[in-house]
Amino acid sequence: MNLSKRLAPICATLLCYAFLTTSPLLAQAPVQRPHILAISHVGYFVSDLPKALDFWQGLLGYAEPYDIKKPDGTTRIAFIKINDHQHVELFNEKPNNDTGYLSHIAFVVDNAEQMYRYLASRGIKVPEKVGKGKTGDLNFEIKDPDGNLVEFVEPQPDGLEAKNAGKFLPATRISDSIFHLGFLVGSSRKSLQFYGELLGFREFWRGSSNGKELSWIDMRVPNGKDYVEFMLYRDPIAPPDQRGGKNHTSLVVSDVAKSIAILQTRPAFKIYGKQLDSHVGVNGQRQVNLFDPDGTRVELMEPNTANGKPVPPSTAPPPQ
């Protein structure tokens, strides 16, 4: 038997092996990003929980459906219910030196485990596993380029949110929806890569407060209508106790003037002690700013522009 005939079976085996090991049909498919549906919640540190609760409950009219206790029985986290799917978490703890009174922002996903695997496959540092929080929902956290904690939540049928659906929704609520969340961003390029390229958020507007440099970038969640607002800053960043005007929660209202009139009738308004002034923002929408006892801003904003016409985005460059 000549050499070529003797080697034929071996070559055939090697070719078959090469096909099996390199075939795209058998290669591991990349992990697809699951749906990011909406804002779940935002967390803030508060220095005086009773005062913070008076602001959110007494003035803004929300209810506290449940809380999480510390080992000594005192409240660690108070939950302020905005609607059946959104809330604010008040941490009865000292603020974070890196992000001020902002604890974290959180988004609803349809598959937390898949989001975990997707981020890990893209080289993002993730925790050891997806956990089940004390509220009963699946969740985990990562950090964005500025060190902000970003949590992904997959609601569960046996979670506290689901169990309390339709409850703790008083008519006194000044708003029934979180419109957007704003937070400080240092590098717009890095944040656009993280929230845009990695997470799939879609930019839809930019604004400038002075016309010379960019102040805000608005990014909508990939599979919903909620959005985040990058609050761009120049170095050096303000100290933690001065960041509350930038880190903020925006609540949608149909009529800002009517909302102000309602707030002014409440007993807690006298304790609040600050004037409420409506104005039309750079984005053309009517709004009014309130501040909790620690200076964290809550913005009441109408969903449409005051004159019904869209405001073109700014072309100013980002801060250097």
What CATH code is carried by the domain that includes residue 179?
A: 3.10.180.10
Burial 159-181 (b: 16+ CB within 10 A, else e): bbbeebeeebbeeebbbebbbbb
113/138 Cα distance (integer angstroms): 9
Q: What is the mean pLDDT of the chain?
A: 91
- pTM value is 0.89
In a domain, 14, yes or no: no
In a domain, 5, yes or no: no
| Per-residue pLDDT, 236 | 61
CA distances, 75 to each of 9, 53, 66, 83 (Å): 74, 12, 10, 22
Report, as an integer, the average pLDDT of 61-88.
97
| Per-residue pLDDT, 22 | 40
| Per-residue pLDDT, 21 | 39
Question: Per-residue pLDDT for 298 more than 60?
Answer: yes
Per the structure, how many domains does the chain have? Answer: 1
Phi (first) and psi of residue 212, to 5 degrees? -105, -35
Residue with tokens 């390199």: 22
CB 304, CB 258: distance < 8 Å: no
pLDDT band at 3 (very low <50, low <70, confident <90, very high): very low
The pLDDT tens digits of the residues spanning 145-171 come to 999 999 999 999 999 999 999 999 999
Count of all residues that appear for the chain in the document: 320
Boundaries of domain holding 224: 36-305
Question: Per-residue pLDDT for 14 more than 60?
Answer: no
Question: Per-residue pLDDT for 8 more than 50?
Answer: no
In a domain, 168, yes or no: yes
| Per-residue pLDDT, 278 | 98
In a domain, 271, yes or no: yes
Share of the chain above pLDDT 70, in %: 90
Ramachandran area for residue 22 (φ above 0: left; ψ -120 to 50: alpha; else beta): alpha
Share of the chain above pLDDT 90, in %: 83
In a domain, 154, yes or no: yes
DSSP string computed for 168-188: S--TT-S-SSEEEEEEEES-H
220/244 Cα distance (integer angstroms): 22
The pLDDT tens digits of the residues spanning 199-247 come to 999 999 999 999 999 999 999 999 999 999 999 987 667 676 678 889 9
The pLDDT tens digits of the residues spanning 15-49 come to 343 333 343 434 467 899 999 999 999 999 999 99
Name residues whose C-beta falls within 8 Å of residue 185's C-beta, 6 or more positions apart in sequence. Answer: 145, 146, 191, 217, 230, 231, 232, 233
Of residues 54, 101, 144, the one with CA closest to residue 243? 101
The pLDDT tens digits of the residues spanning 162-196 come to 999 999 999 999 999 999 999 999 899 999 999 99
In a domain, 2, yes or no: no
pLDDT band at 97 (very low <50, low <70, confident <90, very high): confident
The pLDDT tens digits of the residues spanning 46-60 come to 999 999 999 999 999
In a domain, 21, yes or no: no
CB 126, CB 120: distance < 8 Å: yes
CB 110, CB 34: distance < 8 Å: yes
Neighbour tally for 270: CB within 10 Å: 9
Ramachandran area for residue 235 (φ above 0: left; ψ -120 to 50: alpha; else beta): beta
In a domain, 118, yes or no: yes
